[in-house]
Amino acid sequence: MKIDVLTLFPEMLNALNSSLTGKAREKGLYELNCHDIREYSLDKHKKCDDAPFGGGAGMVMMPQPIHDCIAAVDPDHTAKRIFMSPRGKVLNQQIVKELSRESHLLFLCGHYEGVDQRVLDMDIDMEISIGDYILSGGEIPAMVVIDSVLRYVPDVLGNSESTVDESFSQPLLEYPQYTRPQEFCGMSVPDVLVSGDHAKIDKWRRERALEITRNIRPDLLEDK
Ligand code: SAH
């Protein structure tokens, strides 16, 4: 999978170089290119934002640098072009799975008050929000999408089973997990998990998952 990120703050994306996404990048399991929108500004001071027409607080990202950056990065429009925006479809595991089937993703990260509407109308395929709250920029939201999508890219996860069992891959939240030591601060691991009886363990996990979902997110059960 090829991923392009268009941003005024490319260094923010360095966070993806750690942990799972970092290892996967080193192994060449995906390609990530960050593009500094400012480099495409035709203004002599490399200005990329200006005051909103009609007045109001803050600055708006100008269309020219973004339009030219997108044209340079994705000239044949092979990418699914995504604008990170609180106005977008709210991200969920279904959208993550759909995006993981794409071979090329392009993320446009907004900043300040947002982006001139004309470049969105002209160049963007979809808008995604990571939730009903406002962040200062689209970089962290883009990384949220990239991290969740990469987990479905073959070989990125060490154990290919891991996405099957997880919360949201099924309509249930995950059961509680335990590891060594068996006794910790006077609390022991549930007996069933050390019983070696896999049918019993599966049943226990299903029951716990159901109970947790019923308590915390009953809406997930109502959908089904
Ligand atoms: N004035 C805008 C908010 C701008 S926040 C409004 O009221 O809708 C600046 C940028 O941060 C946005 O352009 C977007 O790219 C990003 N952003 C902020 N919150 C986000 C969220 N919940 N999901 C995705 N992107 C978000």
Do residues 152 and 96 lie in contact, with contact meaning Cβ atoms separated by under 8 Å?
yes
The proportion of the chain whose per-residue pLDDT surpasses 90, expressed as a percent, equals 92
Q: Flag whether pLDDT at 4 surpasses 70.
A: yes
- Looking at the structure, give the CATH architecture of the domain made up of residues 2-150: 3-Layer(aba) Sandwich (3.40)
Q: Is the pLDDT of residue 30 over 80?
A: yes
Same fold, 2-150 and 170-221: no
Three-state secondary-structure class, residue 1: coil
The residue among 167 and 186 whose pLDDT is bigger is 186
Q: Which pLDDT belongs to residue 159?
A: 73
Ligand 1 within 6 A of CB of 137: yes
Ligand 1 neighbourhood includes 134 CB (under 6 angstroms): yes
The pairing of strands 104-109 and 31-36 is unpaired
Q: Which of 60, 84, 90, 127 to mutate to test the pocket of ligand 1 (most atoms within 8 A of CB)?
A: 84
Nearest residue (CA) to ligand 1, atom 5: 136
The residues spanned by each domain of the chain are 2-150, 170-221
Outline where the chain has alpha helix (H): 19-26, 63-73, 93-100, 117-123, 139-150, 162-165, 198-216, 218-222
| pLDDT given for residue 176 in this prediction | 97
Looking at residue 161, its pLDDT comes to 60
Asked if pLDDT for residue 213 goes beyond 70, the answer is: yes
Its CATH class, for the domain covering 170-221, is: mainly alpha
Judge if the beta carbon of residue 58 lies within 6 A of ligand 1.
no
Residue 18 Cα, ligand 1 centroid: separation in angstroms?
A: 25
Q: pLDDT tens for residues 131-150? A: 999 999 999 999 999 999 99
